[in-house]
Structure 1
Amino acid sequence: MKRIAQIMYLNKDKYQEYQTRHENLWPEMKQALQAHGATNYSIFLNKDNGELFAYLEVPDEKRYNEIAKTDVCKKWWHYMAPLMTTNEDESPKTLDLEELFHLK
């Protein structure tokens, strides 16, 4: 199982809207995440600066990355783009973190 950790950047005035949208995650988006192997997915907010820390586990990182090609993922990115820092394709701008320690 591969553990993935990333930092994303939320606009400071959009904290509540971001949380509301995730509390109402589209069933088709949840299904796509699960179909691409995502489990144990959590997102945490640093209210001081708008940084989001995302953590998830996947059995196959290549398979998980294929979600970016799906229509529902692109639609979700478009829906979320006004709330956060994004790339030109509206995907969230992310900083991938390297795992240095894991207590088993």
Structure 2
Amino acid sequence: MATELDALLAASPARSPHRCCFLLHVRPERLVDYVAAHQEVWAEMREALTEAGWRNYSLFLRAEDGMVVGYFEADDVDAAQEAISRAAISPRWEAAMSEYFAPGGGEKQVLPQYFHLA
């Protein structure tokens, strides 16, 4: 089943190199602090994301269990993710955010796109 599903997802004409959706998982007891931290994202981090090509970046939260859904667009999502990982500010931001994530929850789980209505 997983192989058939993987093949369908990989072959979907709705796949896009311009959109990325991902999941993170915040520890429920740290949700207030995590959301508060995102009300004042460092200017240097915002600039790095813009320079890396990230646009229309949004985070959504399911408060019941700390599930975070992230979405962004770029001319080339893979290149934009690579660029932000190389940005000088990224290790410091990641370290600051790491305290909020559940074990393994800070690893971005990218979701495959299989449908898009323009």
TM-score using structure 2 length: 0.79
Partner residue, 1:71 = 88
| Equivalent residues, number | 101
Distance between the aligned counterparts of 1:86 and 1:78, measured in 2?
A: 14
What are the equivalent positions in structure 2 for 1:48-87 lying under 5 Å apart? 48-65=64-81, 66-85=83-102
What are the equivalent positions in structure 2 for 1:1-104 lying under 5 Å apart? 2-65=18-81, 66-85=83-102, 92-104=106-118
Contact 2:19 2:77 in 1 (8 A): no
Structure 1 moving runs of 4+ over 6 Å: none
Unaligned runs of 5+ in 1: none
Deviation track 1:73-93 (CA, whole Å, cap 9, x = no partner) reads: 110000011001366xxx921
CA shift, 1:33, in A, is 0.2
Unaligned runs of 5+ in 2: 1-16
- Inter-CA distance 69–19: structure 2 relative to 1 (3 Å threshold): same
User: Aligned AA for 1:72?
Assistant: I
Instruction: Give the aligned CA root-mean-square deviation in angstroms.
Output: 1.7
TM-score using structure 1 length: 0.89
CA shift, 1:69, in A, is 1.8
Once the two structures are aligned, what percentage of the paired residues are identical? 25
